[in-house]
Every structure is written in structure tokens, then in C-alpha cells.
Structure 1
């Protein structure tokens, strides 16, 4: 199965279910940037439940701005704050220390462009998962795709995503708040470690 999908900030589990089960992956990189999407946010499981990690971006005066042109607003030290949030949420998880050295540089190296940063995060996560993918990139935006490609670009919308039939796995704070599905891939990675890829390959997405 060939798919087209957005590169996002530490993608949701639904994103990675689609990617892990695809034959060829094409990243949509030529669309317009929209607010309140996974392009610049991820959800993790903190002590108080579902927690948002949001990358601040610089909005221009233009009505429309290409995703690939959006710059990150770095004056509020978001990288350090996100890393501290991950430590607080997952330091007691089974595999946080196992992946810490691979992930930490992403929060220590200055970044300017949101798309480039998301692509780098994707590469690091794939290394952690031992998932070997060489994605293609779109050269121009097309609303419709060919019949041989499944369009998963709708998964980028954080505010209107549909419920997914994913199997529960053990989460750090599930004794307090229960199982929270479809968080960032980081949640699955820190809790399941080397079993994360097998989990992804065994899940299916709900029909759109």
C-alpha cells in the first residue's frame, strides 16, 4: 500500500500505524500551514493526564503560508521545556533511559524551520523503532491522489481526529487516568521499547 501523509512533530500512533504498514510513504510538504494540527504539536501522558507539547511558530501577515516556509519562534526556550516535560512524564517508564541519548540532542540543537525539524524527529524515531523507510516528498500540492495511493493527510488534524481501535498497552500513569489512546509515538516507544514496531504493525486504522 502506498500512502501520502504529513510529517508531524513526534507523530501520533495513528500516523505511525499508517507508516509502518505502508509499502511506500510520500510526505506532503507543499501544503499550507494550518493552526491546531499535529504539524507543531504532540500529546504525551503526564501525571495529570493528556498533556500538549506545542512548538511556537512565527506567523506572517500573509493569509497563507507554506508549511515548508514556517519558522519556529525560539525566544521562549520551548526545547528545554519540552525535554523537561518528557523527563517528568516518562523518567519512570521502562525504556526512557534506553532512548534518552538518541532523543536528547533534538532538544539541545537550535532549530529554525518546523518542517525540517519534524523530518529530523521522524528520522530519529525510525532509528529507535528500527523502521527503515526512505520517504518521498511531494513537489506540488494536489488535492486528489491517484487510485494507487491512500490519502492519510486527514490524520494531521489534532482537533477533529476520529477514535481509533488501538489495543491498550501499559502506560506510566494509567492507574490514575486509565489508558489514553493515540498519543505521540514517544509514549509507545518509552513504554514498549523494542516491541513498539510489532505493536504498530498489528494495529489497523478506523475507516475515515
Structure 2
């Protein structure tokens, strides 16, 4: 049985969802320390001007560290409205935006208290839309990869300075602004979903 260790992700990149699709079991870590500027609270989409980062603001926490499971979402800055408008602007003309809009919009209308719970609900929805059927297990403590014989991607899949991942090779697909910017690899799973629809599973 193949097993993978993953950090929580906000509309994670294609690489992250590839693990859910290809591994027999995926552990999503709840007991790692929250790290800024990671996919835990940000995703990258293809906008008219090129890659655009959307970041979920979080509440301040006491001390230098905080477990991911305890991170609370902030309502600061009308971020939900801004994120949804960015998606409409970037993908409104994509082949499958209208098809999936009603499934994705609620994540920018409802309020979740904890970032981990929010991300997990997103993960379940995206998997359902792409017909990915992963076995997901939430950690009950911080796991060492060797203890569960798993491939550890918790620090490998990140926006800045990602580690080498020999199991991931980006596969080009249709993108709305490809003629302008060329193909941009490993964007948020939303990019694949809105551009390729149900065929997206074959690109994971």
C-alpha cells in the first residue's frame, strides 16, 4: 500500500491533488506548526496579468508557533468577496466555470472558524467534482514519515523553494491565457477544474 503525508491546503495545487489520486492512503497533517506563505492558506491562479496569489487571512495567535488545527480564519479585508471576484475575472470565460460555479461559490459565502476545517471541506468537494476517491486520514498527532511508511510531501509541496518531487511531472492542458503567458504549471486545482472539467482527472 502506498501512503503519502500532506499538509493542509487551500484549493491546493495540481501536485497536491495528484497525491490524493495516486496514493492508496493520504494522511493530512493537523499537528504540524502553521507556516506562513505556504499552500496552507494560499493558492495561485492564472489571472490576465499572469500568476496571482490569493491568501486567506488568519487571526493572530499567541507565541511563535501554533498548530495548524488551531489556526482561525480572519474576516479582515473582505477577502471572500475579493477571492471570488478574482476567480470570476480569471475564469469566467473558461470552458467549465459556469458548470462548477455553484459548487465553489459557497466557500466564499459561508464562514468557517478554523482554516483546517475549511480546507478539508474544500478538499472533499474538489475530489467529488473530479471524481477522485482518495482514502484520507487525519493525523491524531504529528507523524514521522518512517512510522507510517509514507512518502512525506509536507514540506515538498510549497509555493517557494519546493523540494524535488520525482513523482510529479506537470502535464500541459488548456489554459485561458496560454497564448499570452504560455502554460503555467502547478496552479491551484481550480485552474484545472475550470479549464478541463471532468477530464481533469486524467491529468493528475
Contact 2:69 2:115 in 1 (8 A): yes
Select 1:167's aligned residue among 166, 171, 175.
171
Distance 2:143 2:125 in 1: 28
5 Å matches for 1:34-183?
34-146=35-147, 148-162=149-163, 165-183=169-187
Contact 1:31 1:67 in 2 (8 A): yes
- Kindly state the Cα deviation for residue 58 of structure 1 after the two structures are TM-superposed: 1.3
Number of residues of Structure 1 aligned to a counterpart in Structure 2 = 200
Contact 1:129 1:196 in 2 (8 A): yes
Contact 2:41 2:115 in 1 (8 A): yes
| Stretch of structure 1 that moved more, 172-181 or 137-146 | 137-146
- Kindly state the Cα deviation for residue 99 of structure 1 after the two structures are TM-superposed: 0.6
Contact 2:21 2:132 in 1 (8 A): yes
Distance 1:17 1:154 in 2: 16
Aligned residue number for residue 192 of structure 1: 196
Return the TM-score normalized by structure 2: 0.93
**Which consecutive residues of structure 2, in runs of 5 or more, have no partner in the other structure?**
none
**Which consecutive residues of structure 1, in runs of 5 or more, have no partner in the other structure?**
201-208
- Kindly state the Cα deviation for residue 98 of structure 1 after the two structures are TM-superposed: 0.9
Contact 1:15 1:155 in 2 (8 A): no
Return the TM-score normalized by structure 1: 0.91
Distance 1:118 1:90 in 2: 21
Aligned residue number for residue 205 of structure 1: none
- Kindly state the Cα deviation for residue 25 of structure 1 after the two structures are TM-superposed: 1.2
Distance 2:59 2:78 in 1: 14
Aligned residue number for residue 206 of structure 1: none
| Deviation by residue 1:75-111 (Cα, 9 ceiling, x = unmatched) | 3111111000000000100000111111111110012
CA RMSD of aligned residues (A): 1.4
Aligned residue number for residue 15 of structure 1: 16
| Stretch of structure 1 that moved more, 30-39 or 159-168 | 159-168
| Stretch of structure 1 that moved more, 1-10 or 184-193 | 1-10
Distance 1:122 1:142 in 2: 21
